[in-house]
Amino acid sequence: MAHASVMSGCSRRDAASPDQPRRGDESLLLFSLPYERLATFLYNNRRQLPMDLQRKLFIKKMSREQASSGAEDLQRYSSEAKDELTPLRPPSPPMRNSYSSDSIDSMVSLPTWEDFFEKRSLLRRGDDTFRVYYTEPKSAESPVFVFHHGAGSSALSFALLASSLVKGFEKDTDGKKNGCGIMAFDCRGHGETRVMEKDYKLDSLIEDAIFVIQTFREMANARSNSIFLIGHSLGGAVLTGSCYRLVNEFGVDVKGLGMLDIVEDTAVHSLQGMHTYLSNLPKSFGSLQSAIDWHLKTGLIRNKTSAEVSVPSYFKRLDSGRYVWRIDLSQTAEYWNTWFVGLSKQFVSAPTSKLLILAGTDSLDRELMIGQMQGKYQLVVFQDSGHFIQEDVPKKTALTLIDFWKRNDKKVVVIRSTWGAKK
């Protein structure tokens, strides 16, 4: 019905205008529009047009005029990754100031970082320390994947993805010889990282990321390795900004930049309701198991194994025995306006190959629509994931990153797109 109302509204207006097609002529006229005008039409009507229709319109446009680019066909992933999600679909419980399913911490054995990474270290910069988890590259031919988490999360949100990547390379014909290196770190204010200055401006987060990446490259003897920067949510904005400086100022061989479920337009609008969201979060939990259960029941994380390793890193234990959040995100509010403005344009023009992975609930903004139509980045959409893509579907994400590596690292044979590529 939403589709019909948008089109019928157009048909009542001037039929000579290409942005207002007559009923029955919508598809023909829309496909004939230049990239920017089609993107503008889709963007202006994004609230009325179903996501599937938006995607069909610009993908069909691309397939006609730029057959070598386009969204990834994910059917080939389903057989390998179909079993990775725990079927959790209960209604979200009301949020409270505290939450407890038991009064003391249960003695359940939870997975630890050692089950997913080879090593961990503290990198020092003056009085600051940054916690990093990593698996060293086997050789100079091994690509290194650098992961940056989003606000309120931690490096351990990438734990399952890290192990899935290592296993994926071991099974891959091109990847098994040299494997891959992996590094994820806690950004300031999160996890086990300790930074004296309470400054959360995007530029400060970028400075931190560059320090950690450069220090890790020296420590792991990875100065000549190909680097792939992969950021989730706010981490995508941090690594997009870092990419320019790493390439242009430091000469780092950044072969790819990936963002997980972050779109500028959506992010900027979501910040308007952030204070209300944060005020409704439980302020404490009676045990780590209670915190894990809450994340699963609310659907914030849909993968039980990932929640068991990541969620404990979000909390600290008080003398009373209760667990509270390590970071109060409301204290970062004055910096929110620096995080996402201009992100889409910066991402599309980044000096490397680019990948955007979205959960099925999101839509592209105008800059991303135009960039996608022009083949400036690879788009992948997972319909069976929530916001925490790396946690909900780690195997699918790993397979996508391995494909991304093959397409863009000169050290391996580039594979063809699964559809529409020019010969």
Cβ–Cβ under 8 Å, residues 293 and 102:
no
Cβ–Cβ under 8 Å, residues 243 and 257:
yes
Catalytic residues: 233, 261, 387
Amino acid at 120: R
The full DSSP string for 29-51 is HHHHS-HHHHHHHHHHTTTTS-H
For residue 371, give the H/E element and its range. helix 366-373
Spell 69-78 as b/e; 16+ CB within 10 A means b. bbbbebeebe
Cβ–Cβ under 8 Å, residues 68 and 417:
yes
Cβ–Cβ under 8 Å, residues 391 and 306:
yes
Distances (CA, A) of 1 to 128, 360, 404: 56, 20, 38
Torsion of CA 396, 399, 403, 409, to 10 degrees: 120
